[in-house]
Amino acid sequence: MKIARMNITFRHYPFHYFLDSMESLGIKHIELWAGEPHLYVYRNGFETIRNINKEIKARNMKIVCYTPEQCVYPYNIASSDPHWRRVSIDYFTENIYAALALDTNMMLITSGIGDFSVRQEESWNYASDSIFQLSKVAEKEGVTLALEPLTRFESNLVIDTPGLKKMIKEIQSSSLKGMIDTVAMQLAGETPDNYFSILSELSHFHLIDGDGQSDAHLALDDGVLNWKEYLTSLQNHQYEGVCTLEIMGSNYYQNPQDAIMKSLKKIKELGILSSGYGGTLYE
């Protein structure tokens, strides 16, 4: 198991500041949030990707997952508006190619959110069709689409393991795999065991604390989630993938490195991440 950091916590700093911070901590794995001001595929995309590649390789780092912004920007693959849905599919398709250009073979996606003016089943079908189209591109390009359940505050579609299982079964694509976000998981009343019971493979893991009531993504021990038990469960299930610290919120944006350092310290104190278990903490 490896721990990765995400540049979304550094969204109010230049991207090179994030990389410098990770380098100072000895971090080699990052999850790249593709959002302004760091990277947006429709604004100087080629040049930005080229510069990011150069900076990452110079530091001997690796992008383990590529996560295009999909909760703030006006893209929604479950929209009942066919033009908006088509534009959204095109946006994610463009990001699949951006992921490849950044030498990573995993991209995070969500189900979007259904319009409240239509039946939930109708919105589900829109999301399913969109994900199916994206999965065909991903299959062709050898990219894994990590489908992340959102919280009930963010979506009315894939928000728990039954929804995740249903979507994966409908799509029937080798490129589409499930992942965990600990906040969404806890709000759905679930644990990692629920995910391992329905998935043949867990593709990715977002490790954060939460307040147990909202979609807040907190630094470890700033909330009430049993994140230590979650990591123990991953260990028991021999998970060998990556856990990303997806820390967000105004309390962290001014001093993001401090939040990450404190969370890393909490993980190290557990003593479960060692070279004998799927690699080291950083490498």
In this prediction, residue 278 carries a pLDDT of: 35
In this prediction, residue 276 carries a pLDDT of: 32
Residues of the chain with pLDDT under 70: 272-283
User: Taking the alpha carbons of 131, 246, 203, 105 in that order, is the dihedral positive or negative?
Assistant: positive
Amino acid, single-letter form, for residue 224: V
pTM of the model: 0.95
> What's phi and psi for 273, nearest 5 deg?
-100, 105
What kind and span of H or E run contains 177?
A: strand 176-181
In this prediction, residue 1 carries a pLDDT of: 85
Taking CA 187 as the corner, what is the angle to CA 215 and CA 272, rounded to the nearest 5 degrees? Answer: 95
In this prediction, residue 9 carries a pLDDT of: 97
What letters, b where the CB count within 10 A reaches 16 and e where it falls short, cover 2-32?
bbbbbbbbbbebebeebbebbeeeebbbbbb
Three-state DSSP state, 231: helix
